[in-house]
Amino acid sequence: DGGITQSPKYLFRKEGQNVTLSCEQNLNHDAMYWYRQDPGQGLRLIYYSQIVNDFQKGDIAEGYSVSREKKESFPLTVTSAQKNPTAFYLCASSISYSQTGANTEAFFGQGTRLTVV
């Protein structure tokens, strides 16, 4: 089945540690995104990538890093510089305009709940 998979579902991080959240898609989508969601709030864009080996900062990129070495994968690292990392993280992907001449909706993974302990 085609889809987008995030792992793990729950992640615990100690103070000062870096952690990496996995996001994999088999939808052949060029574009991928990382969002952060805090309780009762909307989705804030961390990073997005339109093509392999290229990515752009979103609205809250500080304390986060990403890579896009493969089309299928867009891992997010939460570094120790992120002072308040406890949140729900959502990964998404979509067909890009460059692929079809039209955008389409984003498909989402099931999310990773990160907690600092």
Footprint of other proteins on this chain (CB under 8 A)? 31, 33, 35, 40-45, 48, 50, 56, 58, 88, 90, 92, 94, 96-98, 102-103, 105-106, 108, 110-111
What does the buried/exposed string (b/e) look like for 58-95 if buried means 16 or more CB atoms within 10 Å of the residue's CB? beebeebbbebeebbebbbebeeebeebebebbbbbbb
- Between 103 and 115, whose beta carbon lies closer to other proteins? 103
- Between 59 and 69, whose beta carbon lies closer to other proteins? 59
- Between 79 and 108, whose beta carbon lies closer to other proteins? 108
User: Which residues, including other chains, have CB under 8 Å from residue 78's CB and lie 6 or more apart?
Assistant: 13, 18, 19, 20, 21, 63, 64, 85, 114
Least distance to other proteins, CB of residue 15, Å: 26
Least distance to other proteins, CB of residue 14, Å: 25
Question: What's the chain's length in residues?
Answer: 117
